[in-house]
Amino acid sequence: MLVLRNVNSFYGRSQALHDLNFDAPEGQIVAILGRNGVGKTTLLRTIIGLTDRTEGRIDLSGVEIGSMPTFARARAGIAYVPQGRMIIPDFSIRENILMGGFAASGQRRIPEIVAELFPYLMENLERPGGVLSGGQQQQLAIARALACDPKILLMDEPTEGIQPNIVHQIEDCIIRLNTELGLTILLVEQNVDFAKRAASTFAMIENGTTVSAGKIEDLTDEIVSRHMAI
């Protein structure tokens, strides 16, 4: 579904990705793994068009999107749940969710799946996003992305900094989005156990390029130790 070939990505004059190749099969969760600072977040930002410059080819369902602006990539079916959530604190829960749909397609509706996944949000639609806990804000960021009606969901460490009692809820939500909605999910994750539980394939990133990739069953302890141990 999503294919990157020989992709280089830049912030100003600084090159962050180096001839990176990456494949995300349709309908699967792809775990993107690696140490901090190796280019995992930049990979997601490159796909959605948030770096300063890219080279190489990015195809979504056979259509080259690397030259498209970010809004066009969103309208093509890509949604992004960024690290740190980046909800708008003064907007209500309702406004934050609707903003996702408006940005992608101009639609102003809350998807039915949001009520199933996150009943607390639906019961508190007029509360400001800024008063929510970290876990509730992450739920809101996911709901905002779902309002885009995406084909592919980019998720950057969705359980980072979240209270333990909500971590499992977020993990189960990610798996449900894949199994029940058929969403293709690119999941940047440091928790290898969760990655092995959720994903079908993986890509290990180091120094801005893919150094190992394959089926999740092929993610051995040796690969993890070589590329993720500190």
> Per the domain annotation, does 197 fall within a domain?
yes
pLDDT in the model for residue 164: 85
Q: Is residue 26 part of a domain?
A: yes
Asked, for residue 138, whether it belongs to a domain, the answer is: no
Q: Which residue has the tokens 């999941």?
A: 187
For every residue of 192-221, which 3-state class applies, written as one string? HHHHHHHCCEEEEEECCEEEEEEEHHHCCH
Paired strand residues for 31: 187, 202
Tell me the two tokens of residue 50. 């948030």
Please name which of 68, 60, 53 lies closest in space to residue 22, comparing C-alpha atoms: 60
pLDDT, position 229 = 85
3-state secondary structure of 51: coil
Pairwise CA distance, residues 215 & 88, whole Å: 37
User: What separation, in Å, do the N-terminal and C-terminal C-alpha atoms of the chain show?
Assistant: 33
Share of the chain above pLDDT 90, in %: 86
pTM assigned to the model: 0.94
Which of 110, 119, 152, 118 is closest to 138 using CA atoms? 118
Tell me if 156 is assigned to some domain. Answer: yes
Quick one: average pLDDT of 42-49? Answer: 98
Predicted pLDDT at 162: 87
Interval 92-149: pLDDT, tens: 999 999 998 876 666 778 989 999 999 999 999 999 999 999 999 999 999 999 999 8
Over its C-alpha atoms, the chain yields an Rg (Å, rounded) of 17
pLDDT one-digit tens code per residue, 175-209? 999 999 999 999 999 999 999 999 999 999 999 99
Residue 129 lies in a domain: no
Q: Is the pLDDT of residue 35 over 70?
A: yes
Residue 67 within any structural domain of the chain: yes
Mean pLDDT of 71-98: 93
How many domains does the chain contain in total?
Answer: 1
How would DSSP label each residue in 150-189?
-SEEEEESTTTT--HHHHHHHHHHHHHHHHHH--EEEEE-
Q: Residue 36: how many CB atoms within 10 A of its CB? A: 10
What domain range is 154 assigned to? 2-86+148-228
Mean pLDDT of the chain: 94
| Mean pLDDT in residue range 1-17 | 97
Q: Which residues contact 10 (CB under 8 A, 6 or more apart)?
A: 16, 51, 52, 53, 54
pLDDT value at position 170?
A: 93
**Residue 49 belongs to a domain:** yes
101/4: higher pLDDT: 4
Alpha-carbon distances of 72 from 41, 69, 105, 198, rounded to whole Å: 20, 5, 10, 29
Position 161 scores a pLDDT of 84
With respect to residue 99, please indicate whether it lies within any of the assigned structural domains. Answer: no
CATH number assigned to the domain comprising residue 196 = 3.40.50.300
